[in-house]
Structure formats: C-alpha cells, structure tokens
Structure 1
Amino acid sequence: MDGAKKQLLIAGGGIAGMAAALGATHAGWDVRVFERAAQFSEVGAGVQLGPNVVRRLQAWGLQTALQAVCVQPQRLRAHSARSGQALASTSLGASMVQRYGAAYVTIHRADLHQLLLQAVQGRDGVFINSGQPVAEILGTEGAVTIRTQGYPCVEGDALLLADGVWSQLRGAVLGDHSRPRVSGHLAYRALIPMQDVPPAWRTHEVNVWLGPRLHAVHYPVRRGEFLNLVVIVEGPAPEDMTSWDHAANAAALAAALAGSCSALRDLAGCVAASGGQWRLWPLSDRPPLTGPQGMARGLVGLIGDAAHPMRPYLAQGAGMAIEDAAELQRALSMADLDVATRLRRYALNRWQRNARVQARSIRNGEIFHATGVMRWGRDSAMRLLGSRLMDVPWLYRGDGACATGW
C-alpha cells in the first residue's frame, strides 16, 4: 500500500474508537471503523472530563459543541456518607481554567459519544461500518488483514483495537488470553430529572460521599437537566460479566445504604420516586501497564479500555482514551517513520501515564471505601488539608510531575 494514503482500521466504535478515528483523520489517514452494534450509540450515564481532556477536545475544534451539551461545575464537595458532615471542598469553574487552561466539565456519556461521532462523520476519508465486528486478524506482515462479519478480507496499514475491557482481539495480539479481573465493586447508576431532586442538590457541583466499603458521586449532566447519581458498593458480581449492563436490585442497594445518612438515602430514593431505574455495572480492570508492549505490537495498537481498563476512582477512563487518541494523532503524523515505529512511539509516550492513572485509581478506591482507623485518618486529613488533597496537578497539567492529589 506504499504511495497511497495510509488507512487505519479500527475495531470498536465507542468513545475510544471515535476519538481515535478523529485523531487519525487529523493526521492525514483514512479510517475504516468496524462496530459490533447495528447502530452507533453509547450506553451509560455521566462522565467527568478534567482540563487535561477538555484541552484535547478544544484542539480538535470541539469547544462549541462541547459547551452546548455539558455542564461546568463550580465546586467539588466531599461529605461523610455516615454522618452527612462536610469534609472538604475545592473550587472548579473559572479556577480550573485559570490553573490549567481549560474547564472541568460533566457530560452524559451518550452526548460525548455523539459529539465525537458527528465530528468524525464531518471528516473526509472516514468509512463507518455498523453491525460489522472484527471477527479475526488474518495477518500483520507488511499490512494488516482482517475478517469481519460481512467482509471476508479487509486490508489496512494498521489496526487499532478499541473494543473495550472485554476485547475479543486483545489476546491474539498480546499473547495474553487472561480475563479482566473482578474488582469486587459494583456501580449502581441512575439519572434523575433535576426537578425531582431535593433542592439542596440542584446545583452545578460535583458531590462525593465517602463511607465504609462504599461511596457515591453525583453531578449535573445534559445542560443541568438531569442529575447523574452513581453509588459504588463492595459485593459479588453477577455471573455474566461480559454484559455491560444488568438490571439492578434497588432493595440490595437500599440495604447497602442502610448505615448511611438520611440525605444520601433520600437522594437515592429519588430514583424510584421519579420513575427511574437503577442499572448495575460490575467493575472490572487489569493490573497497571508494565511497558509499551501492552499498547502496541507491530502494526496493531490498542487504545482505551482495550489496553488499560481502570477503576473509576479518578474519573479518567474516557479521558485517558481521548488522551491516547491525541497521542496517536501525533505518532501517525510522523511520515518519516514506518508504521510499526509510529505505533511503537505512540505506546512509548502513553504507557507510563496510563499505568500511573490505573494505579492511582486503585489507591483512591481504597481511600474512598476505607474503614476503621484509615477512615478516621482520611476524614481528618481532608478536614485539615481540604482542597490540597482534592486537586491533582500532575493529572490536569498532563505531565508526570509528582503531587499529593487524591
């Protein structure tokens, strides 16, 4: 395929796949996306995007589209899930823009996916194939050849796996056929119309509740029309771990929240009162990356959860996928290098940051769910140090500098 415009094949059309497609077209590549679902959509609820991620979206010219669907929270507050008492807070809003050059925003996951999809569809050289999962990688010598459900043979200059934590292709590329590990944490999530939320929580704020073996977070999405509520508790996962969504048992969640303060229990009760339903998401991840080989092998790269699935305790799952895509764009633009070397450069420039975010996410989960003396120490430290513990400069700046951020 020398002399022709380079072509990237992408397995997966979620947020990671759409971000990768957008980055690749900005690098001058043609893109063919193969998505398993018959219609391109993104399930889920809210996503938090730090300034490190918003800067990437701005660089792709998406600031106006982002502002039309997101919320820019003004403050982050932490509370004790047991007593309801305030522990600490830090300013977001204009303060984040001043410190890091971009806003901290909250957005519905489907809105983020649609924003990226529309941007990709507006680019030349993009071919989107829905209902066409990549079934097999046939060869990777000189070019990549794949088989999909509808095409016996498709050839490209490189292949990118963006098919999520339960990737069906990852094992063949990396030689690691292990399953993602079960965290023992379950995320109950729901959307509540803002008019059905108690007045005290109808704010443009992110609120976190920290309790023994559980925590909750809620914030506005859809331009402030809905409140996204997530409660994460420790417990056994359903047997079918490959299905992303499960009908959740509200009674089980109520039992888990029995020792929590009335404010949190009342907020959780708004889901049923508003006619909504809880959805259950068993959390799975993989150990932090140990080297660039976990993100690229020859002409095949991996992005987002296919490469580095992480727990949500740093709110950076979607963010790291978008950062990956921005770095992929830079690597694919290096026309003086062969394609395998470009993918190797992408992996070298990303694996350590992703590994650090994976490790910090695990650590945050232990802190959020702390019991006994550790919980007392956490609450005391937050009351004393406040916003210093809630800011994460190394993450939001996009560099590797050390920090004490939680």
Structure 2
Amino acid sequence: MTCPQANENSQGSTDFGRLPERKPASGITVLIIGAGVGGLLACLECWRQGHDVRIVERSASRMQSGDGFTIGSSALRAFRNWPEMEDEEDRIAMNMWVSWHKINGEKISGPGPFELHAGNVKDDTVKPPKVHRHSRPKFHKMLSKQVERTGTTIEYGKRVKSYFENIQTNKAGIILDDGNIIEADVVIAADGVGSKSSQVTMGHEIRARPTGYSIYRAAFPVELALSDPVVAERFQVLENGKFVAEMWMG
C-alpha cells in the first residue's frame, strides 16, 4: 500500500526524489496486477491522481529480462509530470541513427536520425515527433525506482487464479493461488498474455493461439560483436559519435 510519508508534501521530497505534486486523496483504491512497463506506468499515474494504489506481480522479483522496444511521442508525454524520470528517460534512451535496406542488403536510405515524420507537413521548421529506442531492462528499472520513490511497494510472488466483480459491494478483485482475496474499487489487469481477466471482461477465457510465424532475436555484448573484424568494419561509429542500426525489410 502507499506509505503515508509519500502522501504528504511529496513535492521536492529528499526521501523520494523530485516527485510531481500529488492531487488530494481521492478515496479510490486501485489494484494493479502486473509489474511490467504498463503496470508500473499505471501505478505512477494513479498515485499522482491521489488514488490508493496496490500492485501485485507473479514473478518472485523484479524482471530484468527483455530486449529493446520503441516508444513514440504519445507515450513520451506521460513523463511530462515526472521531472526526474523525464530526465532519466532521455539519458538512457538509445538515440541511434538508422539505415534502411531491402532483404537482399541493398540500401534504401540513411543513415539518418531515427524519427517519425508528420505526414504531409513540408515545413522544415516543424520538428518531427520524438521517438526513443530503449533497453527494456533499463527502462523497467527506471520505472521501478520511481514507484519506490512514491512509497508504493510491489508485492512479488502473487499469482492470480481468477478475477471477479461484486455487484453488491461495487468492488472488484482477484483470488490468488493461495486462496487469499484482494478487493479494490478499480482493478487494472496489466498481466499480459495468459491473463485471467478476460473471464470477467469478455465472459470467457481468451487463450493465446499460434500464428504460424516465428521470430528469433538475440542480444549480446557489443564488445563481443566488435571482436569480429567484419562486424567492426560494417558498424563503425559515425563522425558525429552516433551508432548505426540497420533495418532490413522483405
């Protein structure tokens, strides 16, 4: 649950870092299932709105696995109210340059900044929407640290057996594998693939099913990659200090 110290005068608190000004207590309890990127962001915004937040996660500890992902301008706007996190997000982002290739290796364009372009806008003074590439483990760690600064504790090792709604009490909640029941005014299912929440929201279980396609991705230390002279020659650092990522399509 949210610590009382975080509710009082959170602005500029030395114990929790530079937190945004929190709205007065709403009296609304929010239960979030899943401490991934979505669950943690939901937790932070619910806290900022003055809600009493509780977050549970089935993993035994903080998740440190994952590859990279890209976030655009709409997602980046979520950080405007979190000054310390906004600074850190910009610092840890991988602002690489990109070159685009056909599947046979023929270059289409680039290298150039990895950014979006605003449709048919031809005004060069209009800045393109920001796009940031992130390492998921680093991004997740940033969010976890900010959640900790609010005084909200992530309860690990809580596996959900089922969700429910109680019309009589106007509450919703979850039943854990150990039989314990947790209720709240609002329940946010951020537990991804395999979530049991569809039993309540859709009336039946939604199971993941195979598409017939597969994808293989691997990440390894850059030092290991650059020890190969062929790779080192192809992926040299540009004069402006930027690294180049190649995108092959076909």
Alignment TM-score > 0.5, same fold = yes
SS at match of 2:50: coil
Q: Give the structure 1 partner of residue 163 of structure 2.
A: 137
Question: Does residue 175 of structure 2 align to residue 147 of structure 1?
Answer: yes
Question: Does residue 103 of structure 2 align to residue 81 of structure 1?
Answer: yes
1:29-68 equivalent positions in 2, closer than 5 A? 29-61=51-83, 62-68=85-91
1:4-403 equivalent positions in 2, closer than 5 A? 5-61=27-83, 62-73=85-96, 75-82=97-104, 84-89=105-110, 91-92=112-113, 99-100=127-128, 103-124=130-151, 126-141=152-167, 142-150=170-178, 152-195=180-223, 196-197=225-226, 198-199=231-232, 200-203=234-237, 204-211=243-250
- TM-score (norm: length of structure 1): 0.46
TM-aligned CA distance change 1:50 to 1:89, over 3 Å: farther
Whether the 8 Å contact between 2:69 and 2:136 is mirrored in structure 1 is yes
Whether the 8 Å contact between 2:162 and 2:196 is mirrored in structure 1 is no
Q: Residues of 2 paired with 1:69 and 1:151: CA distance?
A: 41
Give the deviation of 1:150 after TM superposition: 4.9
Structure 1, unaligned runs of 5 or more: 212-406
TM-aligned CA distance change 1:177 to 1:137, over 3 Å: closer
Whether the 8 Å contact between 2:58 and 2:157 is mirrored in structure 1 is yes
Q: Residues of 2 paired with 1:95 and 1:182: CA distance?
A: 32
User: Deviations for 1:45-87, whole angstroms, at most 9, x for unmatched residues?
Assistant: 11122233223234433222113322112x33211222x1101
- TM-score (norm: length of structure 2): 0.72
Give the deviation of 1:123 after TM superposition: 1.0
Name the amino acid aligned to 1:210.
M
Give the deviation of 1:202 after TM superposition: 4.3
Whether the 8 Å contact between 2:172 and 2:183 is mirrored in structure 1 is yes
User: Deviations for 1:84-132, whole angstroms, at most 9, x for unmatched residues?
Assistant: 110134743689796245x3222211111111111111114x2321001
Alignment size in residue pairs: 205
TM-aligned CA distance change 1:66 to 1:140, over 3 Å: same
Whether the 8 Å contact between 1:12 and 1:133 is mirrored in structure 2 is no
User: Deviations for 1:302-343, whole angstroms, at most 9, x for unmatched residues?
Assistant: xxxxxxxxxxxxxxxxxxxxxxxxxxxxxxxxxxxxxxxxxx
Q: Residues of 2 paired with 1:149 and 1:136: CA distance?
A: 9
TM-aligned CA distance change 1:7 to 1:172, over 3 Å: same
**Larger proportion of helix:** 1
Moved over 4 A (4+): 93-98
Q: Residues of 2 paired with 1:42 and 1:15: CA distance?
A: 12
User: Deviations for 1:370-401, whole angstroms, at most 9, x for unmatched residues?
Assistant: xxxxxxxxxxxxxxxxxxxxxxxxxxxxxxxx
Name the amino acid aligned to 1:140.
N
TM-aligned CA distance change 1:42 to 1:58, over 3 Å: farther
Name the amino acid aligned to 2:203.
G
Q: Residues of 2 paired with 1:135 and 1:64: CA distance?
A: 39
Name the amino acid aligned to 2:86.
Q
Q: Residues of 1 paired with 2:153 and 2:209: CA distance?
A: 34
TM-aligned CA distance change 1:176 to 1:91, over 3 Å: farther
TM-aligned CA distance change 1:202 to 1:32, over 3 Å: farther
SS at match of 1:20: helix
Q: Residues of 2 paired with 1:106 and 1:4: CA distance?
A: 35
RMSD: 2.7
State the percentage of identical aligned residues: 22
SS at match of 1:171: helix
SS at match of 1:5: coil
